[in-house]
Amino acid sequence: MTTASTMRAHWKLVLLPLGFAVIMYGDLLFRDGQQGLGKFLFIGGWVVAFSGMPAMNRYLKANHLREGILKIFVILFIVGSFAVPGPIVSLVKVFDGTAQPVNYRQAALSLALIYIALTILSRIAEPKDHVLERLASRIQRAAVFRALANVTGIFAVVAFLGARFVATHPVPLISTGLSLVVAAAVVTHKTFARARKLCTQIHTDTQTLLRDLDELDQARSSTTMSTVKPWIWRLRGERQAGGGHTAEQKAALRAWDAVKLGLSTPVDTGYRRIGLPFLTNEVVAELEAKVRAAVHGGSASPARADLQAIQRACSGRVDVLA
């Protein structure tokens, strides 16, 4: 289905973001003292949003991968609907020159809440099904959410410093805030560079493993077609179908060890407690079973299919200079 036909089939989906935008705007007006108009827009926004729910249901049923992604954004929207208006109001007041310490405190609390949500809830809400099919978007989400979390965390510090020092030390506060903004840009760059570097390493290690599996298959084929008599194989203690290829098997297993390390590494941060691993432990264990089965004489097709899916997910982020 082309993009144009998809838009024609699901154009009512626009009612959802439109409704949520009206909801947030109504909340902003309510907080800014315009309670009447704020309530009207808040309620009207929910009516518009609910009008788009049937279209959302049809959109989800058209692709089995969409439901899991929706869960992520629903959770993040719920948090954002409570946390985002505060910093926006504070930012408007800063540009108007009417910001007070209380506005900075509210912004600091809201930004800290966003940081916690992006750090914890985004990992909890990450879909656990069809992981290999979702892998490219999983990598992208991990990097984007980590970058957003880092930025909101740094700006929470800026807002906290504003609440504490804007009245007494405004000039040093400005220079400190600018330094933290630069730090946010640097941290964001490092986050995406880490994702590219990890994808490059996994792509390289996966290619090595695929080649080792090919060499193992070629060695087995050569053995099968050879004219060596069966009694010689028994004398050497080897089996024609699965044995006699110790060097190739060891090479494939060593290559798998390197791949496994990469697959278990968090995409977005080196802190494993809060980072999102490249693949879940369950998927890594299933892939290891397939690889070991291929090494020890079973079919290599299942392992190859999964390894090639990993390569495809990484191919768009390969950067040998990262």
Q: What is the mean pLDDT of the chain?
A: 83
Mean pLDDT over 68-75 rounds to 75
Q: Does 244 or 219 have the greater pLDDT score?
A: 219
Least confident of 71-75, 102-106, 133-137, 228-232: 228-232
**Residue 30 confidence (pLDDT):** 80
- State the first-to-last Cα distance of the chain, in angstroms, to the nearest integer: 36
Least confident of 26-40, 278-292, 293-307: 26-40
Q: Does 286 or 96 have the greater pLDDT score?
A: 286
Q: Return the residue matching tokens 């800014």.
A: 32
Q: Return the residue matching tokens 């959802």.
A: 16
Mean pLDDT over 198-221 rounds to 93
Highest mean pLDDT among 13-22, 34-43, 196-205: 196-205
Q: Given pLDDT bands bounded at 50, 70 and 90, which one contains residue 205?
A: very high
Q: Within the chain, what is the greatest distance between any pair of CA atoms? A: 94
Mean pLDDT over 126-148 rounds to 90
How much of the chain, in percent, has pLDDT values that exceed 70? 87
Residue 3 pLDDT exceeds 90: no
Question: Exposure string (b/e) for 299-313, b if CB count within 10 Å is 16 or more?
Answer: ebebbbebbebbbeb
Mean pLDDT over 27-33 rounds to 77
Structure tokens at 280: 């879940």
- Rounded distance, CA 322 to CA 311, Å? 17
**Residue 304 confidence (pLDDT):** 95
Least confident of 54-68, 115-129, 134-148, 220-234: 220-234
Residue 1 pLDDT exceeds 60: no
Least confident of 11-20, 23-32, 112-121, 163-172: 163-172
Q: Does 42 or 287 have the greater pLDDT score?
A: 287
225-231 contacts: CB < 8 A, separation 24 or more? none
Mean pLDDT over 102-113 rounds to 85
